[in-house]
Structure 1
Amino acid sequence: MSQKTRSRLQNVALGITIGISVVTLVVMLIAFISTVFMGPGSITIARGILLSIGLIAWTQVAYALLFVMLRCEASPRRSTITSCGCIAIVGSSALVLSDACWIRPDPQSALMLLFLPFLQLIGGMTLLVADSVIAEFESDSRPETRWQKVKCRALQLLFGVLLSFVSWWFFQEPSNDRPWLANLVILPQAEFDGDLVTIRSIRNTDYRTADDYSTAYYDRQFDLRSIRSVDFVVVPFGSDSPAAHTFLIFGFNDGERVAVSVEVRPEKTESYSVLRGLLRQCELTYVIANERDVILLRSKHRGDRLFLYPMQTSQAKTRELFVSMLRRANQLRDQPEFYNTLTNNCTTNILQHFNNVSDEKLPANLKVLFPGYSDRLAYDLGLIDTQQPFEQLQKSCEITEKANQFAKTPDFSRKIRE
């Protein structure tokens, strides 16, 4: 390859690297500003700025690595390989970014902005190792400094560790055959017969404490034509916390209600953590339960606050949403999946179900990363009542005290909604 061709190739690589870097930066700035500063007011400006700077830096680190590699003095062979590698990495990143944000946008697409740098770094490290190995071969005819030797060995070791981690990651397999916690052993099952659905193993646990309980189950047949409502429940993990659990409660004309809660499924000896949820160490489950079960576990025995929002959706869409979640629960019986703290959690699954049954897809939004603010996201999208200010709506929809007060009453469902 001639010097002129190599120079053009390097300029093309530099151009697309800088261009996609700028596009990514603009997209992230828009996403962070809309999420942090134009969303829920409980994120302080200082926290918002630090969060934005940290995440933006994370998205730019791979581009910085590629830029440095392109600008370094290198032999013709190394320069050609580096330029082609950068074009491949940045070009594929551009395709993923376009698909996630413009071609097929949905709430989970925004998460690609956070995972894309990880894939870019793997590609960049591979390219860096290849460059160092070629440099080592080319240096056989001339003296090599100790630093060059150390750098080459260190990069090879780092790449080996990274490759081992990626291999371990992909060899992990989810299973339904583990020693689960007592109230997560039995999986629900839905049997459809026209407009009727029979749900087997609806959980109805009697809790004495959060860890001391007697688990019971019952079967119930529902007429899908009589479904009338769906409530969106948010359970923040602490005051002003961006982390939370969310679930849905479906209501029928006869007053019967059933909750569907997407949860992590820990084993007896396991405790959930954000890191474990990221490292494919916990399975996903759909808990279908009596609403008293899932509400009192959190309000009375875990000391959480609960906010119950009636959703603004048609009966037809409510039915489709319910059926979609039941079919997903059935699917998990045969095809277990790993829970993921960011991409396969309670809120992302609920939003995905909405997109599956909705004609108008919910837009990509980084608020998906903060389930504690998902009620504000639902408010902004018009999925819950918008006739009053959000702060006032949130206050009126808290059911914590009412749930504890009327825990034993037969009309529990009506009391917590008054």
Structure 2
Amino acid sequence: MTLDLLDTPAAIIDVSRMQRNIASMQKRMDALGVKFRPHVKTSKCLNVVRAQLSAGARGITVSTLKEAENFFAAGITDILYAVSIAPSKLWRAAALRKRGCDLKITVDNASAATAIVEFARTQRDPLEVWIEIDTDGHRSGIKPEDDALLDIGRILQAGAVKVGGVMTHAGSSYELNTREALTALAEQERAGCVGAAQRLRSTGIACETVSIGSTPTALAATNLDGVTEVRAGVYAFFDLVMHNIGVCAIEDIALSVLTTVIGHQQDKGWVIVDAGWMAMSRDRGTSKQSHDFGYGLPCALDGTPLDGYMLIGANQEHGILARARPEHTADRGDVALRFPVGTRLRILPNHACATGAQFPQYHALELSGHLTEWGRFHGW
């Protein structure tokens, strides 16, 4: 199978770009002297994860228990479930551990910590819990200086539950676009998580692991003293949001959506393609950044960007490709001649995780032009 024969829309992984991205991140983590635990929610694909582990990653991070179950079934045992666990899901976590999975779960509140302790007593499983730290006010977690941090640690320790570590995610890095700002946030992320671990240790709670990470801060950090591991996910594919942040070039983006031109609105300068939001996703992450790519950046079949064009709109199964800037309306030309019906294009996504999630499988593109189907999975 080749790109000119594959049914569209389809999710395409440029294997050489992906492998380059994986190798580059691993080399950086090795140089900084930390363990690297990739977040596999981006790909949810065993082929990608095996490439990450082969490059030197140790363990994986998941965002759903279904990911944990699938990757454990494939032989991966060191797994961090990096979403504060709902008490109703504890039985699934325990079932994995009983089958030999070294699963770590996370928590960021006393109520959930108490539920974990009560469950652990009934199951006679000490579990291993990491406490989520909020180092940038972006999402969930406990502030490093908050009294609740020690309260949770004491609840878990008194209940004979192992406090294995602390973890944080500097998600606000997605709002930055300079090297200086990213480096400063990476240090804030490091210092906050290390400080939280030190507070726990000062009360006699071991807290062996200090886990930090986001793709932008992982690529910007210059000092990881006190950190034991870093997590990142989208780096394997990259996307247009990461490009706008400044951590990758367009040529590094390994995921694209193959689409076919199916019509035109000549008077509007529109090219209609068969990749709408059901293929690209509704993620408009670049709309708040310095360069808005609409629903994606179109490229020729060989991956060369079509400068001046973008996917300006998306209905469920229809994408609208046009000139990116209103001032270019006089330069529309004859789009039907430039993009005849049947023309194949590749669209780079705003958010690789969201776009990948629209497809039941990827098609891995080798340098030879040959395609291989790689499975991925959905659900929770």
TM-score (norm 2): 0.23
- Please identify which structure carries the higher helix content: 1
Highest RCO, 1 vs 2 (Cα 8 Å, sep ≥ 6): 2
TM-score (norm 1): 0.21
- Please identify which structure carries the higher strand content: 2
